Structure 1
Amino acid sequence: MTLVRLGYVAMSVHVQNASPSKTMTYTNFAKHEDKDAATRKLVKLAETNLHNCLRLLRHNVAHDIDFFRLSSKLVPLATHPELKGWNYIQSIQPSLEKIREFLIEHPEIRVDFHPDHFVLLNSPGKDVLKNSIKTLRMHFELLEGMGIDHRHRCVLHVGGGYGDKEKALEQFIQNWALVSSDLQRMIILENDDKVFTVSETLYLCEKLAIPMVFDYHHHLANHAESDNWHEDWKRVVKTWKSSKLPVKMHISSPKSEKQFRAHSDYVDSAMFMDFLQKVKGSVPQIDCMIEAKQKDDALFTLMNDLRKYPEIEIMDGGSFLIR
């Protein structure tokens, strides 16, 4: 028997006008002659994003959803080189404090980040690595500002293959030594749909003591003939042994056979059950992030679809037991 908590990504289709990712391009920022006034606009956008983030967290509590991915675009232009020296955390601290207070009131909620694809820790390019670390530092500071324990809160893909996957894996290990220990503790790694398989990602996770996020859809899209994901799952579970957080996985469904890697609007419950039947009982709890275009509606729909399976016991609006 395993408890499964479902979560969704960053935005809601049910809560209107609640985007946590409102932004401004640097081109528009640079058009302002008064840079202080332009910076105040950035702060205002960030405050709106954080306010909407808090609205979404309240929405989640109302629907028993205890797992949520924060937008990585909460603070526009936070890492832009032309705004070096901008103390954005100080500027938005009151808004961060409101989220901190809410999360203290609801300690059951798990939140994390998944930075964009340009965060590449295995890049052979020094500038790419430097900018990636800078972006990770921003995520760390946001977590600190919201009073969230930073450990194992930031999902990354391994990165690019650069024509030689074995060399790219070793480049990750080499670059890992250049990442500060506090940022290292924040990071968890996920298998991806094009380059690094579950077993290849596990190689790094086991070698560097990094928890691994198992993405079932990515595995179906990218695996070797000899791969046995059920056996690899046991290894995935072991990577979480030193974490205070439950094992995390991602679920999504292909948009179509031709667009297999693309995410569908909703999650195919039969596909999800294929996974659950093989892992039930292996761990007390799995936190499962839904990566579907319809966000929270995909979660609500999946919960409703799961009711038809006799081995599923619905616990509340966002979690269930599989026996």
Structure 2
Amino acid sequence: MSTPPALRVPNLGLVCITSGPEVRFRTITRTRYLSFPEDQRRAVLHELYADNVSRLVAAAAYCASHGIRLYRLSAALFPMLDLEGDVTGQQVLESLAADLRAAGDAFTAAGIRVLVHPDQFIVLNSESSDVVRRAVYALSFHGLVMDMLGFSRTPWNTILLHGGKGGRPAELTGTIAALPDAVRLRLALENDERAYGPAELLPVCHAAGVPLIFDAHHHVVRGKLDSQDDPSVREWVLAARATWTPPGWQVVHLSNGINGPQDRRHTDLITHFPQAYRDVPWIEVEAKGKELALAELEQLME
């Protein structure tokens, strides 16, 4: 196992919102949306979508002003977009195409890499064909949004999923191969705490030709390890890096457990930075403190 080089500051990523009021997005529940008469739903979604697009531009400005070069887009930015049997959201989004592209251009001009992590209900290898169909349908809209933002169809602008139903790696590989290009060419997979550790997920990544986003916290919890400085963490950082083309695009996730390494709950701030991450170029910080966690971590690493 190679020794990591000297500590340096990587590109730290903000996840969706700030703990303060600067980056916030609006939403609407399915029940609330369907309570409106059909002839009013378009106006409701148009006002909400337009507002969220403007907030997205503000998020780009916030990241740029704070030196944040990695940003996770909210997967719920356009609620009801993938509501089956109702194309209102799609029509509204299309009417805002120019505004959406301008929002994407704001991130691109600032050199900010953008990713998205769709909801956990999206399972590509379920035993239910209907669940898989709906998962692919929902994912197609994430691909559409990334396209409309003007982002590349590469893992630079990742669409990230977990492995899904345990014990079904072949089914996962097969479904990935059949995904629309807007999704498949951006897709990356992340190890989790229960169904797919990195050892189970890595063969899928190789077979499907998608990169692995390694999460040391998930790995430690699943393996009942004592620390994120366990030697296996470095081994998996390097194994995951080999799935990225180029390797300099590698992304990992960073979080700590509130009551120790085995606690699944995330701390407000990062209390332990694993030595194995010292040379990782892109780190999404999954801490409840959001921008405060990023700022304190940058000071800790300087």
Q: TM-score interval w.r.t. the shorter chain?
A: 0.7 to 0.9
Distance of 1:28 and 1:273 partners within structure 2? 44
Partner of 2:216: 216
Matched, 1:105 2:109: yes
TM-score, with length taken from structure 2? 0.88
Among 146, 160, 164, the alignment partner of 1:159 is 164
- Is residue 9 from structure 1 mapped to residue 45 from structure 2 by the alignment? no
Unmatched tracts of structure 2, length 5 or more: none
- Does structure 1 residue 272 correspond to structure 2 residue 277? no
Measured in 2, the distance between the counterparts of 1:47 and 1:239 equals 37
Identical pairs, percent: 24
Partner secondary structure for residue 155 of structure 1: strand
Question: What amino acid sits opposite 1:123 in the alignment?
Answer: S
Partner of 1:286: 281
Q: Does the C-alpha gap of structure 1 residues 227 and 210 become closer, same or farther in structure 2, counting only changes over 3 Å?
A: farther
Give the CA deviation at 1:3. Answer: 5.3
**1:239/1:84 Cα in 2 relative to 1: closer, same or farther (>3 Å)?**
same
Shift of 1:15: 3.8
Question: What is residue 24 of structure 2 aligned with on the other side?
Answer: 19
Per-residue Cα deviation, 1:101-136 (whole angstroms, up to 9, x for no partner):
313422x21011000101111112111111111111
Picking from 62, 77, 83, the partner of 1:74 is 77
Structure 1 position 187 matched with structure 2 position 192? no
Residue matched to 1:303: 298
Note the alpha carbon deviations across 1:205-229, whole angstroms, 9 max, x for none: 1122111101111111113889933
Query: 2:147 — aligned with what?
Result: 144
**Which of the pair has the greater relative contact order for Cα pairs under 8 Å at 6+ separation?**
1
1:40 counterpart residue number: 43
The residue number in structure 2 matching 1:311 is none
Deviation at 1:145, TM superposition (A): 1.0
C-alpha change, 1:30 and 1:49, in structure 2 (3 Å) is same
Give the equivalent residue in structure 2 for 1:94. 98
Q: Secondary structure at the match of 2:273?
A: helix
Count matched residues: 289
Checking the alignment, whether the CA contact within 8 Å between 2:126 and 2:165 is kept in structure 1 is yes
For the 8 Å contact 1:251–1:289, the answer to whether it is kept is yes
1:248 to 247, 251, 255: 251
Which letter does structure 1 place at the counterpart of 2:221?
A
Q: Deviations over 1:229-274 (max 9, x none)?
A: 322332211100357x611000001122497111111111xx3143
Q: Could you tell me which amino acid in structure 1 is paired with residue 124 of structure 2? A: L
Name the aligned partner's letter for residue 180 of structure 1.
Answer: P
Structure 2 letter corresponding to 1:6: L
Q: Is the CA contact (8 Å cut-off) linking 2:237 and 2:277 kept in structure 1?
A: no
Q: Is the 8 A contact 2:217 2:261 kept in 1?
A: no
Cα shift at 1:76:
1.2
* C-alpha separation in 2, matches of 1:6 and 1:37: 41
Residue of structure 2 in register with 1:317 after alignment: none
Counterpart in 2 of 1:321? Answer: none
Contact 2:177 2:184 (8 Å CA) reproduced: no
Kindly report which structure 2 residues correspond to 1:222-241, keeping only aligned pairs within 5 A, or say none.
222-223=222-223, 228-241=232-245
Structure 1 match to 2:128: 125
Whole-angstrom CA distance in 2 between matches of 1:192 and 1:53:
29
Deviations 1:35-83 (A, max 9, x none): 2322211121111112112112111111111110000111111111141
For residues 73-96 of structure 1, what are the alpha-carbon distances to aligned partners after superposition, in whole Å with 9 as ceiling and x for unaligned?
A: 111111111413642331221320
**Is the partner of 1:98 in helix, strand or coil?**
helix
Moved over 4 A (4+): 224-227
Partners of 1:273 and 1:124 lie apart in 2 by 37
Contact 1:72/1:114 (8 A) holds in 2: yes
Which residue identity lines up with residue 100 of structure 1 in the other structure?
Answer: G
SS of the residue aligned with 1:6? strand
Partner of residue 319, structure 1: none
**Over the residues paired in the alignment, what is the CA RMSD in angstroms?**
2.3
Using the alignment, how far apart are the partners of 1:274 and 1:44 within structure 2?
46
The aligned residue for residue 199 of structure 2 is: 199
Q: Distance in 2 between matches of 1:258 and 1:228?
A: 15
Q: TM-score, normalised by structure 1?
A: 0.82
Aligned partner of residue 149 in structure 1, secondary structure: coil
